[in-house]
């Protein structure tokens, strides 16, 4: 069975108890989350989100990239969110490697120079979260009333800590 077929089988089971047809695209709790794609993170679970509550944006590192910012501008402008939470985590792959180390691995693996890609690795997760929060606060595409703050998620305990 291919992975795609496994996903379709799991989805068929999911649809049997599906009861979310009445939700709309507007976030009920009017916020968005930016966090990492990491397999250990389930933001819906660790934030106690219900279906319909919030936008969830995820990428490698949970960085406020141009694309995360595009998504936040859509979230606020079209869907009415008023606040964003940037959530980094301990033991992130983007902290264990540098951009140059990733480029060396890509060169080894795919035989190409990935010098054109900025990977957004970081030394300090709290500092990466602060930079993301600042980027949201300083975006000209979001009004000053749009709030942003940050947390670090601890993959060893499941707990969130605010980043000042």
Q: Which 86-145 residues touch a second copy, going by CB under 8 A?
A: 91-94, 97, 102, 105-106, 109-110, 112, 114, 117-120, 140-143
Residues 12-51 that bind a second copy (CB under 8 A): 12-15, 18, 20-21, 23, 25-29, 31-32, 37-40, 42, 44-48, 51
CB of 138 to a second copy, least distance (A): 12
In 10 A of CB 141, how many CB atoms? 12
Q: Can residue 7 be called a binding residue for a second copy (CB under 8 A)?
A: yes
Closest separation between CB of residue 13 and a second copy, Å? 7
Dihedral over alpha carbons 71, 29, 120, 65 (to 10 degrees): 20
Closer residue to a second copy (CB): 123 or 156? 156
Q: How many residues bind a second copy (CB under 8 A)?
A: 87
- Dist CA 136 CA 162 (whole Å): 17
What are residue 157's phi and psi, to 5 degrees?
-130, -15
> Shortest gap between Cβ of 133 and a second copy (angstroms)?
12
Please state the length of the chain: 164
Write phi, then psi, for 95 (nearest 5 degrees). Answer: -100, -25
3-state SS record for 83-107: EEEEEEECCCHHHHCCHHHHHHHHH
For the beta carbon of residue 164, count every other beta carbon within 10 angstroms.
7
164 touches a second copy (CB under 8 A): no
Q: Look at the block and give the residue holding tokens 């949970």.
A: 62
Nearer to a second copy, 56 or 131 (CB): 56
Residues 47-76 that bind a second copy (CB under 8 A): 47-48, 51-61, 65-68, 70-71, 73-76
**Rounded to the nearest whole angstrom, what is the least distance from the CB of residue 137 to a second copy in the complex?**
13
**Would you count residue 155 as binding a second copy (CB under 8 A)?**
yes
């Amino acid at each position: 069975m291919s992975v795609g077929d496994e996903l379709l089988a799991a989805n068929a089971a999911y649809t049997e108890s599906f009861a979310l047809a009445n939700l709309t695209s507007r976030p009920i709790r009017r916020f968005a989350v930016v966090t990492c794609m990491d397999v250990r993170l389930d933001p819906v679970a660790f934030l106690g989100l219900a279906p319909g509550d919030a936008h969830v944006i995820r990428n490698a590192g949970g960085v406020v990239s141009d694309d995360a910012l595009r998504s936040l501008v859509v979230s606020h402008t079209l869907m009415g969110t008023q606040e964003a939470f940037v959530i980094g985590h301990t033991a992130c792959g983007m902290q264990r490697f540098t951009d140059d180390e990733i480029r060396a691995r890509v060169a080894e693996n795919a035989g190409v120079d990935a010098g054109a890609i900025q990977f957004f690795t970081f030394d300090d997760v709290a500092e990466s979260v602060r930079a993301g929060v600042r980027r949201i606060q300083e975006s000209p595409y979001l009004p000053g009333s749009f709030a942003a703050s940050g947390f670090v998620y601890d993959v060893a305990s499941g707990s969130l800590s605010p980043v000042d």
